[in-house]
Amino acid sequence: MRKSFQTLILLSLFILAGSSALQAFQIESTTLIFVRHAEKASDGTRNPPLDEKGEKRASNLYKSLSDFDIKAVFSTPYKRTEMTAKPTADSLDLEINTYGFENIEQFLENIIVEYRGGAVLIVGHSNTTPALVNMVLGSKEYEQIDESQYGDMFIVTTKELGNATVDLKSF
């Protein structure tokens, strides 16, 4: 009886040690928060700034992200996207990193790995934001955002490209 009890104890310890080792090797998720830039001014240029309503929405974006551990902020190189990202970046003492669409898949893979366990804000446009979300998902689930629609926030949780979940919120 005593030998059976000792064997049971040893077996239990091995199982517990094994599950702890497995947990240590589990990969953490990265949260990618994709937003379209806020409302832009109608100044007739190809690179307009935000209008007053857009500036207010950009400030509200930071407040909407208070539950996230934002590690980095990315924006395309346009006034409207940079101005949307700025209140969040400034409040967290982060730089705004610029991204383009060359090697975009590699860009997303790098972010997922580099910021694992944290969150990243990525500001884009009506056509690029849903395209990036779809790329992370690995399927075409979201269409281009209507030009008059602002304030959608795609909260994407992923460990790798092609395997993600999306929570759609507003800001």
- Whichever domain contains 140, its CATH number is 3.40.50.1240
Instruction: Report whether pLDDT(6) > 60.
Output: no
Please give the share of the chain, as a percent, with pLDDT higher than 70: 85
Contact 152, 57 (CB under 8 A): no
Task: Note whether residue 6 is domain-resident.
Answer: no
For residue 149, what are the domain limits? 28-170
Upper half-sphere CA count for residue 120 (Cβ side, 13 Å) = 26
Angle made by CA atoms 88, 128, 136, in degrees to the nearest 5: 85
Number of Cβ within a 10 Å radius of residue 44: 6
Q: Which pTM was predicted?
A: 0.85
How many domains, in total, are found in the chain? Answer: 1
Angle, nearest 10°, between helix axes 104-114 and 128-137?
60
Q: What is the pLDDT of residues 123-152, one digit of tens each?
A: 999 999 999 999 999 999 999 999 999 999
Structure tokens at 123: 């500001």
Q: Is residue 63 part of a domain?
A: yes
Tell me if 166 is assigned to some domain.
Answer: yes
Coil/strand/helix, residue 139: coil
